[in-house]
């Protein structure tokens, strides 16, 4: 029997560009941008290999006295431009491929808005709704202790993501601080304001989605005050974005979340819907709206579609049915490369996640800066700084897209990858 030894440069399966999953999508996106990198293309493999991957066991005592084990991850994709930065999600479908891709998109996102961070991401494979508050706290603290060897205010700064919030960040900050022997408020962002959190942080991602949407609308001649908007996911991102668009005069005609899909051609009562979601946890059961199938959501006639839920929602199977003029990605990685091509061919403008939802990390940067200085800004100043940075970032990306005749996603990758790889080149390799 003969065997063939792997070549020295063979990639592990999870780094293989043919590997199905979010990481494979990111690798395809990097391949698309490589021809535009010039001399920096010699460093492109830097983007295709995460700097550090940590997989941890998270054992906890359940309330019934039994012990249960969860699998947790923290991936640092790139730290050439500064500490790793990215959220932590608690979800039953978390995988290493997903966390790797999310960390990589954070690298791109941070470079695109030009904040001095690298990219990182974390997660635990768990359905947090099955845990009591005490179990959730014990799991969070154990996970924080396990990843404590690679996080820190100047190393890697976690933040909230899917199914995590200010309270989770408070527990993470306290656990890290206790292990360090001193209070370290800057180890996480998205904390409660009373623990060094920033005003405006909770609404920042949705506000960023709205800001770039308004800027893009100017370029395609879309009047926001008469626009129809459909939103998938109605939490801190989709809910805030929907509220801001409605306040600008737009009609939010359809909303979908895990509780179903609702539709009203004349426009939903967004303030009432937000109260309903806060009280019940989903849009299901909301009065004054028609219930339609989840699949029909993608066919709703609208001007702006905002996917603000999870990855890979717009695919080759539904991209051809979308009726929007513009897609603003509030979620991370909601559109597959195949769907991207279909939307581009149909002249539907896609505002990619790596620029559209960067408002959250931008205000996280503000929070980190405020923690270091122990001097805090008011919300108006924070919002004004956020809007200015988002407008400048979008303007730069738009110009690159026009100059190179590429999509906004590719343009964002061009801007971000050049910044990351230029820094890599300047720093060189050590040793």
Q: Record the tokens describing residue 199, joined without a space.
A: 């005003």
How far is the C-alpha of 201 from the C-alpha of 203, rounded, in Å?
6
Q: Is the peptide bond before 431 cis (omega within 30 degrees of 0)?
A: yes
Nearest CA-CA partner of 140 in 98, 107, 171, 94 = 171
* Residues 6+ positions from 169 with CB-CB distance below 8 Å: 158, 159, 160, 188, 189, 190, 191, 192, 197
Q: Record the tokens describing residue 103, joined without a space.
A: 């960390």
Catalytic, out of 51, 85, 109, 121:
121
Question: Count of alpha carbons within 13 Å of 173, Cβ hemisphere only?
Answer: 26
- Contact between 30 and 417 under an 8 Å Cβ cutoff? The reply is yes
- Contact between 111 and 419 under an 8 Å Cβ cutoff? The reply is yes
Spacing of C-alpha 341 from chain mean position: 21
Say whether 121 is catalytic: yes
- Which residues, in sequence order, are bridge partners of residue 326? 304, 349
Q: Give the active site residues.
A: 121
């Amino acid at each position: 029997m003969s065997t063939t030894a792997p070549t020295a440069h063979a990639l592990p399966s999870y780094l293989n560009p043919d590997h199905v999953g979010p990481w494979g999508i990111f690798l395809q996106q990097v391949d698309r941008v490589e021809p535009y990198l010039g001399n920096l293309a010699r460093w492109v493999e830097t983007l295709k290999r995460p700097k550090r991957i940590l997989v941890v066991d998270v054992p906890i005592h359940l309330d019934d006295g039994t012990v249960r084990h969860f699998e947790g991850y923290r991936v640092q994709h790139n730290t050439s431009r500064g500490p790793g930065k990215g959220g932590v999600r608690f979800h039953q479908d978390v995988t290493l491929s997903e966390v790797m891709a999310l960390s990589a998109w954070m690298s791109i996102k941070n470079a695109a808005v030009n904040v001095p961070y690298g990219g990182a991401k974390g997660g635990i494979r768990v359905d947090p709704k099955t845990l009591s508050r005490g179990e959730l706290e014990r799991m969070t603290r154990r996970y924080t202790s396990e990843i404590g060897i690679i996080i820190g205010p100047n190393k890697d700064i976690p933040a909230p993501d899917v199914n995590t919030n200010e309270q989770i960040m408070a527990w993470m900050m306290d656990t890290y601080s206790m292990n360090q022997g001193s209070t370290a408020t800057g180890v996480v962002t998205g904390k409660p304001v009373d623990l060094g959190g920033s005003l405006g942080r909770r609404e920042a991602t949705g506000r960023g989605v709205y800001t770039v949407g308004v800027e893009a609308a100017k370029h395609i001649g879309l009047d926001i005050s008469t626009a129809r908007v459909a939103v998938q996911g109605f939490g801190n991102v989709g809910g805030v974005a929907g509220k801001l668009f409605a306040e600008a005069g737009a009609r939010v005609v359809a909303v979908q979340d895990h509780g179903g899909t609702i539709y009203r051609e004349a426009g939903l009562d967004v303030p009432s819907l937000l109260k309903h979601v806060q009280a019940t946890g989903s849009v299901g059961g909301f009065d004054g709206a028609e219930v339609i199938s989840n699949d029909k959501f993608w066919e709703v006639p609208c001007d702006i579609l905002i996917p603000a839920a999870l990855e890979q929602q717009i695919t080759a199977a539904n991209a051809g049915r979308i009726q929007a003029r513009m897609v603003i990605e509030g979620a991370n990685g909601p559109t597959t490369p195949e769907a991207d091509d279909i939307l581009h061919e149909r002249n539907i403008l896609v505002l990619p996640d790596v620029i559209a939802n960067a408002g959250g990390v931008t205000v996280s940067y503000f929070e980190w800066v405020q923690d270091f200085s122990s001097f805090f800004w008011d919300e108006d100043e924070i919002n004004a700084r956020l809007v200015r940075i988002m407008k400048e970032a979008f303007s730069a990306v738009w110009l690159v897209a026009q100059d190179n005749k590429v999509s906004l996603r590719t343009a964002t990758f061009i801007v971000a990858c050049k910044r990351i790889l230029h820094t890599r080149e300047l720093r060189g390799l050590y040793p």
